[in-house]
Structure formats: C-alpha cells, structure tokens
C-alpha cells in the first residue's frame, strides 16, 4: 500500500506534464497556421510602419542609397507647406461631407428595411453591393457617369431642362461629386451595422412604450437612438478614419484636381513619395496624418464615454 501511495503523485505529475505538452502542441499548431498572416503583417505593416518612421527623420529619394539624417526638418517643413495645409482642408471637407450623410442615410435605410416589406432581402442586397464593389471599379464607372461631355448624368438632367455641368472639372463641383460617390459606396455598410443594432433591440421596449401612449417619434427618440449609440459610435469612428485615408476615388476620378481642389492628404503623400520621390517628407506627412486621426479618435472615445457614464 505504501508503494501505491508513493506512485500516485508521480503519475499525477506525468499526466500534468502530458497535458501541458498537449496544450503547447495545440498552441504551436495554431501559430503554424497563423504564421503566413503573421509574416505578411510583420513585413508589410509593422516593418513598413517602423521604416517609415525611420525615414521621416531622413531625406531619401529612392534612387540614391544615401539617407542623410535631418532630424525634425521634415516635420518643420509641414508647417510651411501651403499644399499640405490645403490637403488637410480638403480632407476635412471630404470627411465633414461624407460621414454625416453616410450615417444619416444608412440609418434611414436601415429603419426602412427593418420593417416587414416585400422584397426586403433584395433591397438589402442592392444597397450593400457598392460596399463589396472595388472602389477602383466604382470610381471608373462614376467617372464615366459624371463626364462633362458624354456623361449619363448630364444627359438625363438635360432631359428636364438643366444645363450640363462639369462635375469633375469644376473646382466647386469636383469635391461634392467625390463625396456623393463615397456616400453611395459606404451607405450600405452603415445600413448593415444599423440593421444589426435595430434587430438587437428587444421589442418589449416598444410594446411598453406604446402602452404608455408614446408615438413613433418618441419611441425613436427615447428608445431607438439611445440603444443605437454603440452602433453610431462604431460607424462614426470607422468612417472618419476611412475618410481621412481617402485615395482611390481621388486617384481614379480627379487625380487631385482641378486646381488641387480634391487633393487630400493621402493623395498628396502619394505624390510626394512616388512622383517626387521625397520619401522622407512623405513619411513625415504620413505620421502627421496618423497624429490627426489618433487625436480625433481619442476625442470621440472621451465624448462617448462621458455620454454613456451620464
């Protein structure tokens, strides 16, 4: 009996060791499966971000291997760069035009398609199709539609007596045209998020409000909107970050013109890095854009936390 008693702790330790080895094997197999994605992320995201931060303190024209250290000179030049300031203003204009419209129209469409209407699934699919369509393809199609000479939009507005417009060649119309295309491309995403939020609201709340005599507007104001606050916060943060990084539509539809009216920060970074080959200055602009996005995100998080705590 003494031998058996002495062997029990040994067998328990062995079983524990085998269990630990088994768990480690499961973890390593998971890491092995994830290794291609981790490798790609490490090279094209982490290394690229670190190398860009390194370049922001140097001057490099890609063709010359020398990278002289200039310290904060690239960041100082940003303050005196009139084109960069204009790009920031254009990006802010694009963001202020795109985000509210996408949020409002996405919410309205979600409210409509959350009802029991005929063909609801078809309409949801149609509204979501622009989201899965590559922006390059969408931009090419809309560039043809908005063409000042042979565009479909000018053709149809001419039928109702409106004179043709230079949608993408007029400095005052180019950015609103890009905003319209961007809202068309993103409203399906906001609709989907709001639909998920609406379907998560218990119907008992609306039934209790109806019993108390609350009409549709009061139910929407006091039940729907407050309970959709997390969805609104997520959509707003996502759209602001995406809007500050707008590039595809600008590149395809306007090339930053006319008269730099649609040159956004990311497009200007692309021009500095891949047309003028000033990679150090382009990297400094990229980190300046990162700082702007980071500040806006922090402000939104603080405002959202204060509202939820209140």
**pLDDT band at 61, cuts 50/70/90?**
confident
Tell me the whole-structure pTM to 2 decimals.
Answer: 0.86
Task: State the average pLDDT over residues 4-29.
Answer: 62
Write out the DSSP string of 14-44. Answer: HHHHHHHHHHHHHHHHHHHHHHHHHHHHIII
- Based on DSSP, count helices (H) and strands (E) in the chain, helices before strands: 15, 0
The answer for residues whose C-beta is within 8 angstroms of residue 22's C-beta and 6 or more apart is: none
* CA gap 64, 245 in Å, rounded: 29
- 3-state SS, residue 80: helix
Q: How many C-beta atoms lie closer than 10 Å to residue 232's C-beta?
A: 19
User: Is the Cβ–Cβ distance between 52 and 283 less than 8 Å?
Assistant: yes
Q: Which two tokens stand for residue 52?
A: 């860009």
pLDDT value for 23: 64
pLDDT value for 305: 83
Percent of the chain topping pLDDT 90: 67
pLDDT in tens, 134-144: 999 999 999 99
Helices (H), 200-276: 203-211, 216-219, 225-227, 229-244, 248-253, 265-274
Report the residue count for the chain: 310
The answer for residues whose C-beta is within 8 angstroms of residue 224's C-beta and 6 or more apart is: 111, 198, 201
pLDDT value for 5: 52
pLDDT in tens, 75-126: 999 989 999 999 999 999 999 999 999 999 999 999 999 988 888 899 999 9
pLDDT in tens, 220-271: 999 999 999 999 999 999 999 999 999 999 999 999 999 999 999 999 999 9
pLDDT value for 187: 96
Task: State the average pLDDT over residues 261-287.
Answer: 95
pLDDT in tens, 139-182: 999 999 999 888 999 999 999 988 999 999 999 999 999 999 99
**pLDDT band at 28, cuts 50/70/90?**
confident
């Amino acid at each position: 009996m003494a031998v058996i008693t002495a062997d029990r702790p040994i067998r328990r330790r062995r079983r524990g060791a085998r269990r630990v080895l088994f768990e480690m094997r499961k973890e390593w197999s998971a890491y092995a499966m994830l290794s291609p994605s981790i490798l790609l992320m490490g090279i094209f995201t982490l290394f690229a971000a670190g190398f860009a931060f390194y370049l922001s303190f140097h001057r490099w024209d890609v063709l010359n291997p020398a990278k002289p250290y200039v310290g904060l000179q690239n960041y100082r030049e940003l303050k005196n760069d009139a084109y960069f300031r204009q790009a920031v203003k254009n990006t802010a204009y694009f963001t202020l035009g795109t985000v509210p419209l996408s949020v409002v129209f996405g919410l309205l469409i979600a409210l409509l398609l959350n009802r029991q209407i005929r063909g609801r699934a078809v309409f949801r699919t149609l509204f979501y199709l622009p989201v899965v369509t590559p922006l390059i393809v969408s931009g090419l199609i809309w560039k043809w539609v908005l063409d000042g000479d042979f565009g479909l939009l000018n053709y149809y507005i001419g039928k109702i007596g409106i004179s043709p417009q230079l949608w993408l060649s007029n400095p005052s119309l180019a950015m609103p045209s890009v905003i319209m295309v961007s809202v068309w491309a993103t409203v399906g995403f906001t609709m989907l998020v709001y639909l998920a939020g609406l379907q998560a609201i218990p119907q008992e709340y609306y039934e209790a409000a109806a019993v108390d005599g609350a009409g549709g507007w009061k139910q929407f104001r006091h039940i729907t909107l407050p309970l959709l606050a997390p969805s609104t916060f997520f959509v707003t943060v996502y759209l602001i970050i995406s809007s500050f990084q707008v590039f595809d539509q600008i590149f395809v539809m306007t090339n930053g013109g006319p008269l730099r009216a649609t040159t956004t920060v990311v497009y200007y970074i692309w021009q500095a890095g891949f047309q003028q080959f000033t990679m150090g200055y382009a990297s400094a602009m990229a980190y300046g854009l990162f700082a702007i996005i980071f500040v806006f995100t922090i402000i939104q998080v603080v405002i959202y936390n204060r509202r939820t705590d209140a």
